[in-house]
Structure 1
Amino acid sequence: MRLTRFALAVAVAVLALAGCSSGKKQAAVPETATGSLESLAAQAKCKPAIQTDADEIRQAICKNAAGRFILATFTTDRGQREWTNGAEDYGGYFLVGRKWTAVGDMKVVAALRQRLGGTLEEGDTMKGMSGMPSAQHNG
């Protein structure tokens, strides 16, 4: 149940932070970073504002020169995958490393990847909108 609440909180933040890609070429990606939330935040050049400090997840809002993002660390790979899969249902862009995930708009996540390495993932924006009323009027 806790992971569901965390995923929902991240999904809301993703929607608030979502943006568009600039389409610029990127430099070579470094080896994927590892470490604590504080260590990853230092590598990302941000001071984390801790929002969740639980046994299975630590989550913070960060801001650096590229913009705002959420950084979360996990105690297990399974917990990370469940959280990330749930959050991806709401759309957005994710940078995924070993037991950590960063969430933000494409520009921010791409910039973070140059510091932290990791794998880029894109959330399912259509799935996240499935329960919302249509903007079209058929009458």
Structure 2
Amino acid sequence: MPQQPQRGRIGRTLPTARLIRGAALAASVAVLPLVTACSAAEEEVVMNSDPSKISAAPEAGVVAPAKVEVIADLTGCKPTIRIEADELRQGLCHTEKIDYLITTFPEEEYKQAWLDSAAVYGGKYLVGSRWIVSAKEPEMLEQFRAKLGGTVQQLRGMGPTVAPSAS
């Protein structure tokens, strides 16, 4: 009797689900360098996603977990959805002051996998319960934090550092 391929929770064969998940993660990580600032090599990795330490914002109350559109509305923009996948949704916000990405996740484990991948690039991120906001100007994250809650996390890049030339 021929064996049936294993199926995941959503009915896809497991290799297909892995390919889709990998493609979505790779696409979101590929965009990171475009929207995040480079970090100094000596900056520490701060990875604290303990929900008990995520604060609710005074203006928004408890926002997360929320949709990209809800977070974007609270920060004053109408997002352009760039990624729509089972593992994450990502929207780009473009305003006169700043461009930033809002990424939401159906499960906390997907958010943690995204943060682990982003650690290679470094940068600062505003992290909430199943959502992340990243911006070219990390100082704006504190302003967003006042509206959204969450915590600002600094990730240290793992790539090579630029050394001054000998000439």
Q: TM-score, normalised by structure 2?
A: 0.65
Instruction: Indicate which of 6, 10, 14 corresponds to 2:36.
Output: 14
Q: What does residue 46 of structure 1 align with?
A: 77
| Alignment partners' CA distance in 2, 1:84 and 1:97 | 12
Q: What's the % identity of the aligned pairs? A: 26
| Alignment partners' CA distance in 2, 1:110 and 1:65 | 18
Q: What does residue 4 of structure 1 align with?
A: 26
Would you say the 8 A contact 2:35–2:99 is kept in 1?
no
* SS of the residue 2:26 aligns to: helix
Q: What does residue 129 of structure 2 align with?
A: 98
| Alignment partners' CA distance in 1, 2:33 and 2:63 | 24
* SS of the residue 1:102 aligns to: strand
Would you say the 8 A contact 2:100–2:134 is kept in 1?
yes
CA deviations 1:76-129 (Å, max 9, x no partner) are 10001110221132121100011100011222111110110101101214x2x3
Would you say the 8 A contact 2:84–2:90 is kept in 1?
yes
Unaligned runs of 5+ in 1: 19-27
Aligned residues: 125
- One-letter identity of the residue aligned with 1:77: E
* SS of the residue 1:43 aligns to: helix
| Alignment partners' CA distance in 1, 2:138 and 2:62 | 18
| Alignment partners' CA distance in 2, 1:82 and 1:11 | 17
Assess, with a 3 A threshold, how the Cα gap between structure 1 residues 109 and 65 changes in structure 2: closer, same or farther. Answer: farther
Instruction: Indicate which of 33, 58, 78 corresponds to 2:63.
Output: 33
| Alignment partners' CA distance in 2, 1:68 and 1:60 | 11
| Alignment partners' CA distance in 2, 1:96 and 1:46 | 18
Would you say the 8 A contact 2:37–2:138 is kept in 1?
no
Higher strand share: 1
- One-letter identity of the residue aligned with 1:136: P
CA shift, 1:13, in A, is 2.2
Runs (4 or more) in structure 1 with deviation over 6 Å come to: none
| 1:1-139 correspondence runs (5 A) | 1-2=22-23, 3-15=25-37, 29-30=57-58, 32-34=62-64, 35-64=66-95, 66-104=97-135, 105-125=137-157, 127=158, 129-130=159-160, 134-138=162-166
The Cα RMSD (Å) is: 2.4
| Alignment partners' CA distance in 1, 2:116 and 2:165 | 32
CA shift, 1:8, in A, is 2.7
Structure 1 residues 99-108 or 6-15, which shifts more?
6-15
CA shift, 1:39, in A, is 0.9
